[in-house]
């Protein structure tokens, strides 16, 4: 068991196997059982554990919103937290229009992600790609602490003619599919994705705003464009006019087959910040470096410099990011600038276990988190055990669902 789990951790994010093995040994000694990957189809209905010691979410003030769909899903939060960073995936089943590159689909990562979503490839073929959204909606509905999730579309690489380049795109989740399917399911919000190099980028941006998108999501390192390119200025100005925040991946990207990591340098987001776009730096730049400086420091500098700069705390409990959440929380520039995100489904893989943090939180709180069968509840408990305050969890709704 120790050998197989440490090899899995090494495969996913390049962590040396001996380090992974050390953590598993510590976990076994301290807890009597190893870290586990929650299945999402059944454990979400599992035992309810005490909320003692956890800061309970407070009801947020209501505000008007132009989209009726967003108003309806806002009600579904029921005073719980909103997760700004939830992924979905698809293979094109059920006419979704989604696709994965053949290389990614053959990769070991594909099976890991399917398991984390709580589906099998055959189930997707039989029921369609929307089944993943059923699983996410069920998980959110069963959560004690999280009442809503922004599910993220993913645009692809754009060629020199301004059209989608399917040969270079690793993952594609169409806006049309996601806007339609999130509308049908309680607790789900539409996170759009538009590559600004599209020939019709401004038209698509207006369209997703009209369909109720609460943000635009980018991973520039796999979408293969530079956020600092001045050609993006008209796109940024339209984002500002529409009041659409930008959630952009920052830091090294390891979840896909290959990535041009320099494109996710937080400093490349200074252009939209100067133009007044609300920018959320996913993962606060963790991990990696650019120009010899840690990306996290480059991200935090922007938090201090621009009032419209924010960062989410998604994925900062992963085994390859140990200590970074505390590092971010300790910086004065980050106060009032952080929002909650999980990076589901990665929080539902062996990359995350409360027991990886035995030297950074009380063991009692880690045990409480480990007992949670719902991945969102475990994520909230773990991040609060590591010092994330309630205002961070409440800030997501206030930032994304405020009146436009």
pLDDT band at 71 (very low <50, low <70, confident <90, very high): low
pLDDT tens digits, 89-127: 999 999 999 999 999 999 999 999 999 999 999 999 999
pLDDT for residue 47 is more than 70: no
Q: What pTM did the predictor assign?
A: 0.86
Whole-number percent of the chain with pLDDT over 90: 80
> Does residue 236 contact residue 271 with C-beta atoms inside 8 Å?
yes
pLDDT tens digits, 293-333: 999 999 999 999 999 999 999 999 999 999 999 999 999 99
Specify the pairing of strand 279-282 against strand 289-290. Answer: unpaired
Please report, for the chain, the start and end positions of each structural domain, with discontinuous segments joined by +. Answer: 1-34, 67-400
Written out in words, the top-level CATH class of the domain with range 67-400 is alpha beta
| Residue 209 backbone class (left: φ over 0; alpha: ψ -120 to 50; beta: rest) | alpha
**Residue 49 vs residue 370, higher pLDDT:** 370
Collect all residues with Cβ–Cβ distance below 8 Å to 98 and sequence separation of at least 6: 89, 90, 91, 92, 129, 172, 173, 174, 177
What rounded mean pLDDT belongs to the chain?
87
């Amino acid at each position: 068991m120790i050998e197989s789990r440490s090899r899995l951790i090494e495969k996913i994010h390049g962590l040396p196997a001996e380090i992974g093995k050390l953590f598993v040994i510590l976990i076994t000694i301290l807890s009597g059982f190893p870290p586990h990957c929650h299945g999402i189809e059944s454990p979400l209905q599992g035992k309810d554990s005490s909320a003692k010691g956890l800061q309970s979410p407070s009801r947020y003030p209501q505000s008007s919103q132009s989209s009726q769909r967003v108003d309806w899903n806002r009600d579904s939060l029921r005073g719980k937290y909103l997760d700004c960073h939830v992924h979905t995936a698809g293979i094109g089943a059920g006419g979704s229009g989604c696709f994965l590159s053949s290389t990614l689909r053959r990769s070991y990562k594909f099976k890991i992600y399917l398991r984390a979503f709580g589906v099998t490839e055959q189930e997707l073929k039989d029921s369609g790609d929307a089944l993943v959204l059923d699983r996410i909606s069920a998980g959110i509905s069963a959560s004690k602490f999280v009442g809503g999730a922004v599910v993220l579309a993913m645009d692809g690489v754009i060629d020199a003619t301004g059209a989608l380049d399917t040969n270079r795109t690793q993952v594609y989740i169409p806006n049309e599919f996601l806007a339609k399917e999130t509308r049908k399911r309680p607790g789900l919000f539409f996170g759009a994705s538009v590559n600004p190099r599209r020939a019709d980028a401004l038209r698509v941006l207006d369209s997703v705003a009209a369909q109720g998108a609460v943000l635009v999501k980018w991973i520039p390192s796999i979408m293969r464009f530079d956020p600092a390119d001045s050609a993006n200025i008209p796109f940024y100005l339209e984002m500002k006019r529409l009041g659409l925040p930008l959630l952009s991946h920052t830091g090294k990207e390891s979840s896909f087959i290959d990535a041009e990591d320099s494109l996710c340098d937080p400093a490349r987001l200074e252009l939209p910040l100067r133009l007044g776009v609300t920018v959320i730096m996913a993962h606060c730049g963790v991990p990696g470096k650019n120009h010899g400086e840690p990306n996290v420091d480059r991200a935090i500098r922007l938090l201090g410099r621009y009032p419209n700069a924010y960062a989410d705390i998604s994925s900062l409990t992963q085994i390859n990011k140990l200590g970074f959440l505390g590092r971010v929380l300790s910086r004065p520039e980050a106060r009032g600038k952080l929002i909650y995100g999980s990076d589901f489904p990665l929080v539902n893989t062996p990359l995350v276990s409360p027991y990886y943090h035995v030297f950074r939180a009380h063991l009692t709180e880690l045990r409480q988190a480990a007992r949670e069968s719902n991945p969102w509840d475990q994520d909230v408990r773990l991040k609060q055990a590591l010092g994330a305050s309630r205002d961070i969890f409440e800030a997501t709704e206030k930032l994304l669902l405020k009146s436009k």
